[in-house]
Amino acid sequence: MHQHDRTSRFDAAGWALFFIWVGIAWLADVGLGIGLLGVAAITLGMQAIRKAFGVPVEMFWIVVGIGFAVAGLWQWLDIQRPLAPFVLIALGVALFFWRVLPRAPRQQTESE
């Protein structure tokens, strides 16, 4: 099977699992926290499967899966503080370190 075919199948399987889970979670009335944790498990699990089968992992979906996991735990544990300010602070800190602070110059090796 070609990698493109495998990638398409994994993507379709992930979306199918997502819709199945959302339907089950809605019918079973499991609550938002558990629902989000299930979506996180599917999202991160599909990236793990991609890696196991040699299909490129998509960093965007790893970040989204972690976001779902954090939001699901936040809701499930009934933390009284809102999550959004913490997310905004984390994004600001990440942006600052990633794009604002200068990076150390790369060392040249003898072969360069």
User: Are the C-beta atoms of 67 and 61 separated by less than 8 Å?
Assistant: no
Tokens standing for residue 15: 């979306």
Above 80 in pLDDT, residue 111? no
DSSP 110: T
CA distance 68 to 64: 6
pLDDT computed for residue 97 by the predictor: 87
Question: What is the average pLDDT value for the chain, to the nearest integer?
Answer: 90
Q: What is the pTM of this model?
A: 0.77
The domain spans of the chain are 3-99
Q: Which pLDDT band holds residue 106 (cuts at 50, 70, 90)?
A: low
**pLDDT of residue 59 exceeding 60:** yes
Residues 6 or more apart whose Cβ sits within 8 Å of residue 69 = 36, 37, 40, 44
pLDDT value for 65: 96
Q: How many C-beta neighbours within 10 Å does residue 72 have?
A: 21
